[in-house]
Structure 1
Amino acid sequence: MSVLSAAKGAVSFILIVVNTLLCFIPVMVLALFKCVFPFASVRAFLNVILDNIATFWIGVNNVNQRVLGKSVLHVSGENDFVLKDWYMITANHQSWVDILVLQRLFNRRIPFIKFFLKRELIWVPFIGLAWWALEFPFMKRYSSALLKKRPELKGKDIEVTKRACDKFQYFPVSIMNFLEGTRFTPEKHDQQSSQYKHLLMPKAGGLSFALNAMDGKLHQLIDVTIVYPEGIPNFFDYLCGKVPEIKVHLRVMSIENSLLGDYQNDADYRAYFQQWVNELWQQKDQQFECLQHAELKNIEH
């Protein structure tokens, strides 16, 4: 790595840290207000401010990436989104850079993206409070072993998460779900004996859980396929400008009522949903192959 590239990466990283600290302070202050004044009207007002702060934070980071990183996004597929709808987003997962790419693609084009988080993460110092303030939904999942010992807990995880998502009934939101559950590596691909050439096996249960927790409020699914023609980068490579281009394909589909059901207890629904996810992933695998060899002209600046 050249000295110039390393310097660009260092400056870019410092700018991200400074931007994060400057935005983190007002988020913490507003989080404390939400704790002290837990009224629906106050929370709704503060949520708008908090989402705007997070959107501003992403916007500054995006400018940083364009000026210093200079990666060009070649985007194909559907590109017509609105800020006043509910979206589920799926994507293949290869690097932490994926999250920065998704933020570049969708900031100010769809509602602020939120992730389902394990309930234990709410106790992470400072960050857990920030996630709570930004209304990230926290999931309560029970293991199969625990459910065998305590069958009365069946369905409780969905109930808890639905209550956490109730607030999303009143204002649009985007929910992100990486179906593979982890970043792609050749070693993981071999360990899974994945039937897909470029992807790990998808975890259908997690997506079903998220869709059902939102109780039919999510209207559209955006399926994102990300390809790094020069190889999968790490975070610092991206900041250093060593990722000259990224290819992305966007596919939008309606979330039909048939995709909702009791994944844990309804065997017919579970088989149907797994088949639907497998077909989605097969199409994504083919799309990945096409992107590798395509010359795309639609460029996101």
Structure 2
Amino acid sequence: MSSLRVVLLLLVIATSTVLHVVPLLAVALVKVAVPARGVRRGCNAVLTAIAESWIGLNNLLWDRCSGARITATGLEQVRPDGHYLVLANHQAWVDILVLQKLFNRRIPLLRFFLKRELVWVPLLGLAWWALDFPFMGRHTRAQIARNPALGRRDMEATRRACEKFRDIPVAIMNFVEGTRFTGDKHARQASPYRHLLKPRSGGVAYVLDAMGDSLHGILDVTIAYPGGRPSMVDLMSGRVREVRVSVRVRPLPTDVPRAGDESDRATRARFQQWLNALWEEKDMEMARLLGQGGAPA
């Protein structure tokens, strides 16, 4: 019965995706063909409305079919016309659905930094492109050291995306750890945090350098699963009972390294220290959320 439930849900989601992506792409083509500022603004509003409708249907399926309850604090601080950088820990693909469930129409549409390869995902890749999601490479520091052009390409992609976002309310989403938490990754990193991987400062610094003067603040989001890290199948099968989320609005840091300026190592070090301190607080918040009847991740 559980397998049948998952199949039916997948069919509904697939049908909804097709019905939303087709008009989304039509509007995106108009935006590309007529680059006038007024036309772009009108198209952006329509594209956002279509995306929020698609997320809204997914949220309805969550309410009716998953049985999972979200306990969240801090949502009263956010606003739908704000400009935010959203920073969250990353444990499972379900995190994305949790964020969309909480923030749809409460803040501007979440735009995620995506791996460049995801542009080839059927339908969704085109939808993300139409909505101006930034596509970036995932390069290690060693790879960038060997070929600095890789880092410059990512900085340019971030700059172009941020220029588009200056004219509209936006919430730019960044999973700062760069990958989902697992015990193996935690051990390989020798992470100093009990529930988190080490934060990466590069993407956060790029956005703050490009958009800091137009952002209202940082949304610090902590996601915890008292029953353990779930899969999408767990969620659709009704095996996720509760999700706990803490939302905090934080001021922007005052000391941000300029993108591409490798010479100012002192500023970069201070910025990494600021992010590490934020992650220490997030680790304690994770412990608090999981301590309410839950086990560590």
Describe the SS at the equivalent of 2:111.
strand
**TM superposition shift of 1:52:** 0.4
Q: Which runs of 5+ in 1 are unaligned?
A: 297-301
**Per-residue CA distance 1:126-183 (angstroms, 9 max, x = gap):** 5443222212234478822222xx7xx9867535532332121111100000011001
RMSD value over aligned CA atoms? Answer: 2.4
Higher relative contact order (CA 8 A, sep 6+): 1
The answer for the alignment partner of 1:144 in structure 2 is 145
The answer for the alignment partner of 1:264 in structure 2 is 262
Matches within 5 A, 1:1-301: 3=1, 5-77=2-74, 79-118=76-115, 121-122=118-119, 126-139=123-136, 143-147=144-148, 157-259=154-256, 261-262=258-259, 264-294=262-292
The answer to which of 75-84 and 132-141 deviates more is: 132-141
Q: How many residues align?
A: 289
**TM superposition shift of 1:254:** 1.3
Q: Is the 8 A contact 1:34 1:46 kept in 2?
A: yes
Q: Which amino acid aligns with 1:168?
A: F
Q: Distance between the aligned counterparts of 2:188 and 2:69, measured in 1? A: 33
TM-score (normalizing by structure 2): 0.89
Q: Which runs of 5+ in 2 are unaligned?
A: none
Q: Is the 8 A contact 1:92 1:178 kept in 2?
A: yes
Q: Which amino acid aligns with 2:177?
A: E
Q: Which amino acid aligns with 1:134?
A: L
Q: Distance between the aligned counterparts of 1:206 and 1:168, measured in 2? A: 16
TM-score (normalizing by structure 1): 0.88
CA, structure 1 residues 95+156, in 2 after alignment: closer, same or farther (shift >3 Å)?
A: closer
Q: Distance between the aligned counterparts of 2:115 and 2:95, measured in 1? A: 20
Q: Is the 8 A contact 1:31 1:129 kept in 2?
A: no
Describe the SS at the equivalent of 2:213.
coil
Q: Is the 8 A contact 2:256 2:268 kept in 1?
A: no
Q: Is the 8 A contact 2:92 2:230 kept in 1?
A: yes
Identical aligned residues as a percent = 44
